[in-house]
């Protein structure tokens, strides 16, 4: 198992950073290797990724989600993957985003890449691109989910809005 922890400070309010992160369908716009994410319901996503030329698909479940604080997830099939992203208000216009991810590299190429720090480098680049992506937007993102998911309780509040005009 490989663990990566990376942090980036973004020049947007905590609510804007959090709302953008809950728009999983936009991840391919700033995450290297993420080809497509389908939001199936409030707590389930389907991922299509490419790692070292290998295409993978897996489903993930959101295990905890607290608005403006954290989103945690784990894969339920396919690639072994889990993580949590936390949002820390630094001041009204600045947020620290910390991503912690655990993955289990599969196959010789992925294991070698992991030993060489490829996963850490990719995550660091993804957060840098997230910073650029959200800071260039100007206006706060629309359609972030403000509901909650508590460990062992599932969804406890909120409805996920539709994403009119969203491009995947």
- Read off the pLDDT of residues 11-67 as tens digits, 9 standing for 90 and up: 999 999 999 999 999 999 999 999 999 999 989 999 998 877 778 899 999 999 999
Determine the pLDDT at residue 139: 62
**Cα gap 87→130, rounded to integer Å:** 13
The pTM assigned to this predicted structure is 0.83
The answer to whether the CB of 46 falls within 8 A of the CB of 59 is yes
Task: Evaluate if residue 154 carries a pLDDT over 70.
Answer: no
Mean pLDDT of 4-15: 96
Of 96, 97, 115, nearest in space to 105 by CA: 115
Phi then psi for residue 82, to 5 deg, are: -150, 155
- For residue 105, name the pLDDT band (cuts at 50, 70, 90): confident
Task: Evaluate if residue 132 carries a pLDDT over 50.
Answer: yes
Phi then psi for residue 2, to 5 deg, are: -115, 135
Residue-wise burial string across 110-142, b where 16 or more C-beta atoms lie within 10 A, e elsewhere: beebbeeebbbebbbebbeebbebbeeeeeebe
Mean pLDDT of 148-159: 67
The answer to whether the CB of 39 falls within 8 A of the CB of 166 is no
Determine the pLDDT at residue 84: 97
Task: Evaluate if residue 162 carries a pLDDT over 50.
Answer: no
Higher pLDDT, 163 or 59: 59
Residue-wise burial string across 53-73, b where 16 or more C-beta atoms lie within 10 A, e elsewhere: eeebebebbbbbbebbebbbb
**Cα gap 147→168, rounded to integer Å:** 23
Rg (CA), the chain: 15
Phi then psi for residue 28, to 5 deg, are: -60, -20
Tens digits of residue pLDDT in 73-102: 999 987 788 999 999 999 999 999 999 998
Determine the pLDDT at residue 50: 86
- For residue 156, name the pLDDT band (cuts at 50, 70, 90): low
Domains in the chain: ranges and CATH: 2-139 (3.30.530.20)
Task: Evaluate if residue 168 carries a pLDDT over 60.
Answer: no
Determine the pLDDT at residue 163: 36
């Amino acid at each position: 198992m490989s663990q990566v922890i990376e942090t980036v400070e973004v020049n947007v309010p905590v609510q804007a950073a959090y709302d953008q992160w809950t728009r999983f369908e936009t991840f391919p716009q700033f995450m290297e290797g993420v080809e497509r994410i389908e939001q199936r319901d409030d707590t389930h996503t389907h991922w299509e990724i490419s790692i070292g030329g290998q295409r993978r698909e897996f489903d993930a479940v959101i295990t905890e989600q607290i608005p403006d604080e954290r989103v945690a997830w784990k894969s339920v099939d396919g690639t072994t993957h889990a993580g949590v992203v936390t949002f820390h208000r630094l001041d009204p216009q600045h947020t620290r985003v910390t991503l912690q991810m655990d993955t289990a590299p599969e196959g010789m190429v992925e294991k070698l890449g992991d030993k060489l720090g490829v996963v850490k480098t990719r995550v660091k680049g993804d957060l840098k691109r997230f910073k650029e992506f959200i800071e260039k937007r100007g206006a706060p993102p629309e359609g972030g989910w403000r509901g909650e998911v508590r460990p062992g309780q599932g969804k406890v509040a909120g409805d996920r809005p539709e994403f009119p005009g969203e491009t995947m």
